[in-house]
Structures are given as C-alpha cells and as structure tokens.
Structure 1
Amino acid sequence: MRIGIGGMAVECSQFCPHRTTYDDFRVTRGAALLGRYSWTRPDGDLAGRVEWVPLVHAVALPGGPVERAAYDRVKRELTGRIRESGTLDGLVYDIHGAMSVVGLDDAEADLTEAVRAAAGPRALLSAAMDLHGNVSRRFAARLDLLTAHRLAPHEDAWETRERAACKLVERLESGKGRPYRAWVQIPVLLPGEKTSTRLEPAASLYGGLGAVEALDGVVDAALWVGYAWADEERCRAAAVVTADDPRLAVHQAGLLARRYWDARRGFRFVGPTGDADSCIARAAASPRRPFVISDSGDNPTAGGAGDLPYMLGRLLAHDDLASGRVTALHPGITDPRAVAACFAAGVGAAVTLRVGGQVSAGTGPHAEPYELTGTVTALEPAGEGAPGSSAQGGGGRTAAVTRGGVTVVLTERRRPFHTRADFGALDPRGYDLVVVKIGYLEPELYALAADWLLALTPGGVDQDLLRLGHHRVRRPLYPFDDEGFEEPDLTAVLL
C-alpha cells in the first residue's frame, strides 16, 4: 500500500490581533517528515506493510488567523505533492481542526476539499485531530476516518496520530472499503480549561470512548469540544462514530451527543479561579512554594498574542512583590524590541523599557505597553539547543529583567513555557510565585506546582466567553444561551 502523510496544523483565535505568517510554521518534508512518527520506522508495527509517502506538513504555535498567502502556499504545496506522488491508497491527514484563515469561513473544510480533489475519490483519508477542533459537516464529509485526542492536556497526541494511521492501514488491508460515518454537532461551546479530562464530566465522557470503539462493527468513536475563541458557525462540540453498520454508527453517535449535552452544566474550571489581583494576593500569602498562577487570557498555546503586560503590572502593584519580600518569575512577554535593548545593555545594566503591547496595543487598557525600570539579570541567545528552540515557531532570544521581587522574561518570538527546559538557566523552583501564560498546567508544570490558581485575565483567549463578543456562532448555543433553551435535535446523520 502507498499511503501519504501530510497536513497543516494550527489553532487560531479570531479575537487575537496577531496574524500567523508562513515563517511562523515549521515545515517538514521528506525523510524528516517520516521521522516525526514512530510507526513509519523500519522496525515499527507497520513495517513491511506500507510504503509511506512523505508529502509536506506545516505546524505553527497557536495564534491569530493565518494570513491568506501563507495558507495558500501550504495548500498549493500539499495538493501539488499529492498529485505528483502518483496513485495513493490512503492519506494520514495530520491536522488540528481549529485553523482560521483570513477571508475563509471554514479553513479545514476548504483545505480538505482540495486534498480530496488531489488524492482522488479512491484514496481513503484518515484525519488525526485535536479535540479542540471544529467538525463541520462540510469538512467531515470529505474524510473517511477521523479521530481526536482523548486526553486534555493532550498527553495522547502522538497516540492519536498512530491510531489514525493504524485504522487506515487496517481498513485498506481488510478490503472493506469506506466505513459509515455518523456525525452530529452539539450546541455547546466551552473553553478547554472547563473540559479537562482530569475532572468529571469530561473524564467519563472521554474515558468511555474506548468502550464504544470496542463494540463489534465500530471502527472509531470521537468527541470534539470545539474551539471557543473562533467566531464561526462550525464552532461547537461534535461527535462522530465510524462503523460498518450504519444504524450502529448513528445510534452510538447520538448517545455520545446526548451524554455531552446532558453534562453541559457539570463542566467546571480545572482549577480554582479568580481575577488577577485576587490570585496574586492568595498566592503571595500562601506558604506553598512555588505557587503557580496561569495568566490564562494571553496563553500563546491556545491562540493568545503572548505580548500582554497586564499580569506584569498587577504583580508590581502588589506591595510584597514590588518590595522584594515575595519573589515571582513571569515568563514570557513577547517583545523583540525590548529584548534587543536588553542585549545591547548587557547583564547587570539598568534599563527602562516599554514592555509588551507590540501587537495587541489598542485592543484595550490591558494591552497597553508597561513602562518597566529594572536590571537585566539574564540573557539567553537563540540557536539550536536554546530554551524554546524545539517549540513550534522557534525560541529566539530571551532576556530577564528584575524589578523588586519580580523577574519578567521577555521573548523575541512567541513561545510556550511548559517544561523545566523552557525556562533555561532560570530555575522556577527558586521563586515564590511562577506566573505563566498558560491555561491548564501541562504535566511538568503540574508536577512542579506546590499549589495553583487559574487567573481569569483578559486577552485573545479570555476564559469568559461572554465578554469576547461572538456574533457569528450559530445560536442558540450554551453557555451563550441557557434559560429557555429548547431541547436540541441530537440525531446523528450519515455523511
């Protein structure tokens, strides 16, 4: 069998002023693309059964919508390589599901229609997706198999890709042809921080998918939360069951949808919450160290700009932190001009900077640059092996500036701080507070934290969906509409 591998993966907040360019993508081809996956190796479980055909894969750190020219460039290369590859029996389609593109209403549907046209009607397309993707009927109808992560945080991301590949291979080897796909959307749209599988009801909803998949005749079962920070009709939860028996597929998809709908009011934030000032006050007064606070509204790994200095201002407005009686590490505000100024000044130099707001200024008082006077306490050069160099979009240079008890890490490029290695020479365990631009804590941060609070801060991925201003999502939709909500039709349909 000849099976291609390719895709385009990014999630995009339409409430974020950032724009994702071609340079923000890590583009992989050839042997490097095959090297991304364990199941393409000569000694892997699928060895000898498949000729893998690497196409092109582009992945970027979440951010604002993709510029149309960047999207078109990747789309042309992907579809061109499919056509040039000769006959393909199938395609492992490695995507996210929450990509927004300037000028398009349903970017994944547009890309998938082009991929289907290039691959031809005979090839089977198997998509591996993030559970925070959106699954419109137009998009899903062009696929033969589609599955999603079953854990949030996404500790099973690579397992999901392998499942998509193995299901495709099994399907082709069986000679059964296309399975039936039963699809239904659920009028619920919640942020990921309210749907973590660490807690109920998501733990049971997602934990039960394996039992559905194990039913005789079922190929796969998947649930999508949807992506809350885009404003399109497709943004809502969805269930898809793939099976050889169409009635079984429809029935099981309907059951999944009903369970999700019935549980909608039970979803809650994955951790204790508060506004910025109350979270800082509680953390500063606590004996537990390090105490981690999530600056959730500007989380770059959910689509935030990553340049908001709002939390920096609130930290330095607290007397104990401003005086140094309590210490805090706050990575990482994206500001290349401030980083350049720090490198020019050198470690130990006093600097006065206007920090942050390079992209977001003008979107509200929380986004205005913050005037910071402090001392440059650390500089990290860019390059392979530098902190963040393995992140989507790359790491770039970083500079740490300290004022009072607060050390802020400024970054040249948008990047996450999820692992101990991301902090470089700065040890987060040496501070009383660690205030990170993230939502729910990734595993290493979760293990590091002696305690934790989720600060409901403003930004492009604000957890308070009702204050963002959605106006294009299809209504009624929970939680935008609740009282008087008519019982939805949750009947699954065959694609």
Structure 2
Amino acid sequence: MMRPPRIALGAFMLESNGHAPPATRAEFEAACWLEGKALAADLARPAPRAPTALTGFMRAMDAGRAWVPVPLLAAGAGASGPMEQEVFDDLLHRMEDGLRAAMPVDGVFLSLHGAASATVEVDPDGVLLARVRAVVGPEVPVIATLDLHANVSRAMVDHADVLIAFVTNPHVDMAERGAEAAAAVRAMLGGMRPRSGFVKLPMIPPATSQNTDAGPYADAIAFGRGFLDHEVMNVSISSGFSLGDTPKNGLSVVVTTRTDAARAQAVAEEIARFIWSSRGRWTARLLPLAEAVQRARHAGADPHAAPLLFADVADNPGGGGRGNTVWILEAFHAAGVQGAVLGVFNDPELAAEAHLLGPDARFTAHFNRVETNHFSHSFVAEAEVIALHDGRIVGRRGIYAGREVDMGPMALLRIGGLRVAVATQRRQLCEPAMLEALGIDIAQVRSLVVKSRGHFRAGFDEHFTPDRILEVDVPGLTTVVLDRVPWRAVPRPIWPLDPGMEWAP
C-alpha cells in the first residue's frame, strides 16, 4: 500500500510598514513563534495562536484521505516595521533546515502575508518561496495563501505553484482559503500542474477604499471571480499594502488555471484593465477631528442618539501604527465628551503602573512617557483604575474568532467622562473580547474609538452598522491620505501619487 503523503507546513505573517520601527524577535515571540513539535501542539489546541489558514488547511486535509503533517515553523508578528534582517535570516535558515531534515515531502503549504520586508531584503516572502523551491525541487507542490494586502512579487509567483489570496476584508475567510489550498494540494498530488498569469498595476489605493462588502474593491473581486470555471481555478486580487514603501508595491492580479498559461495571463490582464478603469473610485473620505468631537459630544449627551464608532485609521497597529497616538483622546477629553470608550492604547509602562497601583487607585496617567515616534506625543491626565486583566483572551468574532490573543497586562482607566483601555502588546482593537475582558458592556457604550483601519467591522458589526462608523482624519503612521507619506522606494509613476499617468497591461 502506498504511504500517505507528507505535507510540510509553515507560516510567515508580517505586514511591514516602511516608516515604522523595525520588527524585532521579541515581537514575533509575543505573537507567534512556534517550531516543530510546539507548532504541532498549538495546531491541536481548540484556540491556537498559529494563523487560521493553517488550521483551515489541516481540517480540510483531515477530511480527505490519510496524510502526514510535517510542521516546520510558524512565525507571525501581525504588522510592524521592516523585520530586523538577522531575525529574518534566522527564520529563513530554520525553515530551510527543518524542510531539509523532513525530506522527502510530497508537498509544502505556507501561510504567508505577502507584504513583509526586512531592513535589508525587500522581498522576504519571495526569498522564502525560492528557498523552499530549491529544497523540494520543481515537481513537489508548493502552495501558499496570502493576505489580501500582499505586495506580490514576480519571485513569489515564479516559485509557488498556486498563490491564494484572501477574498474578504475584514479577513473572515482565512480558514476557507486554507481549505482551498488543501484542495489544490490534493489536485496536484493527483497529477494537476497549474499555470499562473500575473499583472502588477501601478496603483496603491488608500486603505479605507479596500473594504469588500461594497465599493470598488467589492466590484473588482466580483468581476474577477466571475471568471472561475472548470479551467480558471483561482483569481487573487491583492490590493497591496501601500505603506510598505518598497519596489514591489502595487495592486496585483494573479490568476491560476489548471492547464492553460495563456488563458491565465489573458484573464489577469482583463481584470487589471477593469480595475484600472475604476481607479477614480478608490479614494479616501475622512471625518475632520472637530466634527468627530461634536458628534461624540452629542452621542454622550442625548440618550436617544445612535451610538457611534470612530475609527482612528491613521494609528492602526494592524498596519504598523504604534497604537498610542492621543489626538482623539486629547480632543475628546478637552471637550468633555461623556460615555466614550477608547482603545486599545499600546503603553506597557502605563499598563504596568496601573497593575502596580491596583483597582480603584487614582493617579496621574502619563501616556507615551518613553515613546520616541513623532506622532505619539505625550498626554497627561488624572485617572482612576477601574479594571485590570492579564490580557489573555480568546477571540469570538472577526479575524480573531477562535484564536488565542495575548494582549499582555491590560488596564481600564477612567479619565473624566472617558474610559480608556491600555495594553502591553500592540494589537488593533478589532475584537470585542478585548474590551469585554475589562468588564465593558459594548451595547451600553455611547461612542467607541477603535485603533484599527477595517478589521473592527467584523468584530463590532453586532453593535455598529456601517452608517454609524466614522473614519477620523488625524495624523499617524498608517494615514490613508497618501500624499502625506514621505515616500522613498515605491516605483514611480504610480496612482494616485501621479494622477495624470497612463497605463495598460
């Protein structure tokens, strides 16, 4: 009897903001750095730390014929700056050495983000795929899932047999894409040899135009998926992470067919033309801070007014923001806003002080006392500690549903009419459990301020319909007003930085 196929598993999840401080080994270890047996044990837990695409892949494989998983390494730090080069080199060597030791394998599945950079290497995802291909050879299936915001490179396309990007933003289809990757592995083990077409558009659309429930991105994805048939097996339209600021920036279209390379390229070019023709719709529309203050004051003063959610999109930890700018906090406090909850602020020193002082303590809270980023100026106010938590939660909605998340020690402070959630680890507020762990009843909140760009929509949609969500125009490392960014490495010309440019695939 033939032995069951051995499939190597790994993950590398980092979205690099080219203007944020470098991502350290400590950031990965705090979020996810699991090797070999530790990765296998984590994937067997009911609420793993490893990326959801991996668990989706494994469940789909388990539903079919017998197979043998070979866990290599799963490393993820969410979003940060370019990865310290020595940390990437170590990750690369560990992944490569683990794969060599595991040989022979019959396939490789990797959960990648696709928008990583390092302090030296501009395309870590492409380098990793190239190393994997060099170890396993040309005949072994190499399949990867990508974040919808991947900055796809030619090397990534050339060294993977199939690239499968998320379809939803917020990303609630990660398990489904892992299952799709499992189906592709099974098909390749059965003899299928897929072909890919690839087009990179000179286009970095603002992040707030990239929701997939409605708007230009939803229309682009629907148009692309309309080509799926017996021959076209996958269409991946990756908007890209504009703030990566690397030579591989730009929206991309990758089309995979079962046999026909010419068909794959033709479909990719047709989709690219459709997107380019609609580029004027991919724009940012933000609410001025002064108006946000007025809306929040009204919501707090009138119990019959609809509760509102204000998104601090320019300080999104999910895009490399520091999660600690105080523009909205300072303005709401000065205006006497009542009934608002703000979070999650990344301030380890402040969280530690609150834990040291204990519940009910009153003290002078000093935000950003050691922060050096110019967007993250200090803010000082009288505060009361009203709740503490160890920060270990299991998500219940959106991108963290069913996953363990470690926020580090957390504190809830009362500052005037505001409640402010502070945490030790930098995470975007996209999961209601992050607030519920501190005793907050979100249904009773008059105004909620989230440090997140878009994933909060899948976490808080049970309380805030789209008409009650307001994206606020304040400064930060993840601004969606792209002409404010000090660009260094994006290829030019590129839209919308060069609005008059012409292009065709």
1:104 partner amino acid:
E
* Aligned positions of 1:172-191 closer than 5 A: 172-173=189-190, 175-177=191-193, 179-191=194-206
1:302 and 1:461 in contact (8 A); partners too: yes
Change (3 A) 1:79 1:87: same
Shift of residue 386 of structure 1? 10
Taking structure 1 as reference, are residues 25 and 347 closer, same or farther at Cα in structure 2, changes over 3 Å only?
A: closer
After superposition, the C-alpha distances for 1:135-184 in whole angstroms (9 at most, x for unaligned) are 111222111111101111111111112112211211221x133x221111
Distance in 1 of aligned mates of 2:221 and 2:186: 24
Where 1:101 maps in the other structure, the secondary structure is: coil
Q: 1:200 aligns with which of 215, 226, 246?
A: 215
Alpha-carbon spacing, 1:194–1:4, altered in 2? closer, same or farther (3 Å): same
Q: Is 2:288 the counterpart of 1:267?
A: no
When residues 59 and 362 of structure 1 are mapped into structure 2, their CA distance, relative to the original with a 3 A threshold, is closer
Whether contact under 8 Å (1:273, 1:279) holds in the other structure is no
CA contact (8 A) 1:222 1:239 kept: yes
Deviation at 1:190, TM superposition (A): 1.4
Q: Does 1:40 align with 2:58?
A: yes
Moved more, 290-299 or 119-128: 119-128
What CA distance in whole angstroms lies between the structure 2 residues aligned with 1:135 and 1:382?
34
User: Could you say which residue in structure 2 is the equivalent of 1:85?
Assistant: 102
**What is aligned with 1:2?**
6
Quote the residue 2:50 is aligned against: none
Check if 1:339 corresponds to 2:339: no
Query: Cα distance 1:176–1:331, how it changes in 2: closer, same or farther (>3 A)?
Result: closer
Residues 435-462 of structure 1 deviation map (CA, whole Å, 9 limit, x = unaligned): 1101123323122126120112211111
Contact 1:206–1:223 under 8 Å retained in 2 = yes
Q: How does 1:399-478 map to 2 (within 5 A)?
A: 399-423=411-435, 424=437, 425-440=439-454, 441-449=456-464, 451-478=468-495
* Contact 2:57–2:175 (8 Å) recurs in 1: no
Aligned to 1:106: 123
Deviation at 1:122, TM superposition (A): 2.5
Aligned match of 1:230 in 239, 244, 267? 244
Conserved? CA contact 1:392–1:415, under 8 Å: no
SS of 1:212's equivalent in the other structure is coil
Deviation at 1:43, TM superposition (A): 8.4
Number of the residue aligned with 1:379: 388
1:124: which partner in 2? 141
Are positions 1:355 and 2:384 aligned together? no
2:49 is matched with which residue?
none
Identity in percent? 25
Q: Counterpart of 2:457 in structure 1: which amino acid?
A: E
The one-letter code of the counterpart of 2:20 is C
The structure-2 alpha-carbon separation of the partners of 1:317 and 1:180, relative to structure 1 and needing over 3 Å to count, comes to: same
Name which of structure 1's ranges 199-208 and 456-465 shifts more when overlaid on structure 2: 199-208
Shift of 1:278: 1.8
Deviations 1:324-359 (A, max 9, x none): xx2211111111111121122222221112202644
| Corresponding residue of 1:16 | 20
1:135-214 pair list within 5 angstroms: 135-173=152-190, 175-177=191-193, 179-214=194-229
1:114 to partner: Cα distance: 1.7
Say if 1:226 and 1:235, in contact at 8 Å, map to a contact too. Answer: yes
Question: Is 1:277 aligned to 2:290, yes or no?
Answer: yes
Distance in structure 1 (CA, Å) of the matches to 2:59 and 2:268: 34
Deviations 1:257-303 (A, max 9, x none): 1111111111245xx62132322222322453431100111111222
Aligned residue for 1:193, secondary structure, equals helix
The C-alpha deviation readout for 1:392-428, integer Å capped at 9, x for no partner, is 7721111122121011111111123222211111223
Q: Give the structure-1-normalised TM-score.
A: 0.90
Structure 1: how far apart are the matches of 2:395 and 2:195?
A: 47
Q: Secondary structure at the match of 2:16?
A: coil
Q: Secondary structure at the match of 1:17?
A: coil
The answer to whether the 8 Å contact 1:60/1:392 transfers is no
1:64 pairs with 2:81: yes
Which residue identity does 1:273 align to in structure 2?
L
Structure 1 CA distance, aligned partners of 2:132 and 2:88?
A: 13
Q: Give the secondary structure class of the aligned counterpart of 1:410.
A: strand
Question: 1:362 Cα deviation (Å)?
Answer: 4.3
Gaps of 5+ in 1: 491-495
**Closer, same or farther in 2 for the Cα pair 1:140/1:14, shift >3 Å?**
same
Matched residues, number: 474
Contiguous gaps of at least 5 residues in structure 2: 45-53
Distance 1:17 1:288, change over 3 A: farther
Of the structure 1 ranges 249-258 and 369-378, higher mean CA displacement relative to structure 2 is found in: 369-378
Q: What RMSD, in angstroms, separates the aligned Cα atoms of the two structures? A: 2.3
Q: Which amino acid aligns with 2:111?
A: D
The corresponding residue for 2:266 is 251
Q: Secondary structure at the match of 1:93?
A: strand
1:54 aligned partner: 71
Q: Is the 8 A contact 2:413 2:419 kept in 1?
A: yes
Name the CA distance, whole Å, in 1 between partners of 2:163 and 2:94: 23
Whether the aligned pair in 1 keeps the contact of 2:223 and 2:271 (CA below 8 Å) is: no
Q: Is the 8 A contact 2:56 2:174 kept in 1?
A: no
For the residue of structure 1 that corresponds to 2:317, the secondary structure is: coil
Instruction: State the shift of 1:373 in Å.
Output: 1.5
User: TM-score by structure 2 length?
Assistant: 0.88
Q: Which amino acid aligns with 1:349?
A: A
**CA distance in structure 2 between the aligned counterparts of 1:225 and 1:140, rounded to whole angstroms:** 16
Pairwise CA distance, 1:124: 1.6
Query: Residue 120 of structure 2: SS of its match in structure 1?
Result: coil
